[in-house]
Amino acid sequence: MAERSLARSTARYEKKREAILDAATEILNRAGVRGLTLGDAAAAVGLSTTSVTYYFKRKEDLAAACLMRGIDALYGFAEAACAEATPEARLKKLLELHFERLRQGAAGEAPPLPVLSDLRALNPPRKAQVFEAFMRVFRKVRQVFDAPELAALSRGRKTARTHMLLEQLFWAEAWLRRYDLEDYPRLAERVFGILTGGLAQPGAAWAPEPMELEEIAGADPQEISRETFLLAATRLINSRGYRGASVELISAELNVTKGSFYHHIDAKDDLVVACFERTFEVMRRVQRKAMAGPGDQWSRLVSAAATLAEYQLSDYGPLLRTSALSAVPEHIRGKMVEQSNRVSDRFAGMISDGIAEGSIRPVDPFIAAQMLNATLNAGAELSFWVPGVKQKAAPAVFVRPLLMGIFELPAQRGG
Taking only the tens place, the pLDDT of each residue in 234-249 is 887 777 666 666 667 7
Rounded to an integer, the average pLDDT of 326-330 is: 66
For the chain, report the end-to-end CA distance as a whole number of angstroms. Answer: 73
What is the CB-side half-sphere exposure of residue 156 using CA atoms within 13 A?
A: 13
Note the CATH architecture for domain 213-404.
Orthogonal Bundle (1.10)
Please tell me the distance from the alpha carbon of residue 400 to that of residue 394, in angstroms, as a whole number: 9
Tell me the pLDDT band of 282, cut-offs 50, 70 and 90: very high
Mean pLDDT for the chain overall = 88
Residue predicted with more confidence, 266 or 364: 364
Give the domain ranges of the chain: 2-197, 213-404
| Tens digits of residue pLDDT in 140-154 | 999 999 999 999 999
Rounded to an integer, the average pLDDT of 229-233 is: 78
Rounded to an integer, the average pLDDT of 3-8 is: 51
Rounded to an integer, the average pLDDT of 212-217 is: 89
| Tens digits of residue pLDDT in 72-116 | 999 999 999 999 999 999 999 999 999 999 999 999 999 999 988
Please tell me the distance from the alpha carbon of residue 170 to that of residue 376, in angstroms, as a whole number: 14
Please give the share of the chain, as a percent, with pLDDT higher than 70.
86
Nearest to 295 by CA among 365, 207, 355, 376: 207
Question: Quick check: helix, strand or coil at residue 1?
Answer: coil
SS3 content of the chain, % helix, strand, coil (to 5): 75, 0, 25
Cβ pair 372, 402 in contact under 8 A: yes
- 8-22, 219-233, 343-357 — which is least confidently predicted? 219-233
Question: Quick check: helix, strand or coil at residue 125?
Answer: coil
- Tell me: pLDDT of 368 over 50: yes
Cβ pair 358, 184 in contact under 8 A: no
* 2-197 and 213-404, same CATH topology: yes
Residues 6+ apart with CB under 8 A from 25: 66, 69, 70, 111, 112, 113, 114
Tell me the pLDDT band of 231, cut-offs 50, 70 and 90: confident
Tell me the pLDDT band of 222, cut-offs 50, 70 and 90: very low
Please tell me the distance from the alpha carbon of residue 184 to that of residue 345, in angstroms, as a whole number: 21
CA-CA distances (angstroms) from residue 308 to 131, 172, 282, 311, 372? Answer: 28, 21, 9, 5, 11
CATH superfamily to which 2-197 belongs: Tetracycline Repressor, domain 2 (1.10.357.10)
Rounded to an integer, the average pLDDT of 117-142 is: 90
What's the pLDDT score for residue 276?
87
Please tell me the distance from the alpha carbon of residue 355 to that of residue 204, in angstroms, as a whole number: 13
What's the pLDDT score for residue 221?
42
Tell me the pLDDT band of 328, cut-offs 50, 70 and 90: low
What is the CB-side half-sphere exposure of residue 101 using CA atoms within 13 A?
A: 23
Q: Could you say which DSSP state residue 360 is in?
A: B
Backbone angles phi, psi at 190, to 5 degrees: -70, -40
- 109-113, 303-307, 363-367 — which is least confidently predicted? 109-113
Give the H/E segment covering residue 131.
helix 126-142
Largest CA distance in the chain: 81
What's the pLDDT score for residue 3?
52
- 64-73, 128-137, 257-266, 400-409 — which is least confidently predicted? 257-266
Burial of 80 (0-12, 13-18, 19+ CB in 10 A): middle
- 45-59, 146-160, 400-414 — which is least confidently predicted? 400-414
Task: Label residues 220-251 b or e (16+ Cβ within 10 Å = b).
Answer: eeeeeeebbbbbbbbbbbbbebbbbbebeebb
Residue predicted with more confidence, 33 or 44: 44
- C-alpha Rg value of the chain to the nearest Å: 22
What's the pLDDT score for residue 12?
85
Tell me the pLDDT band of 415, cut-offs 50, 70 and 90: very low
Rounded to an integer, the average pLDDT of 17-31 is: 91
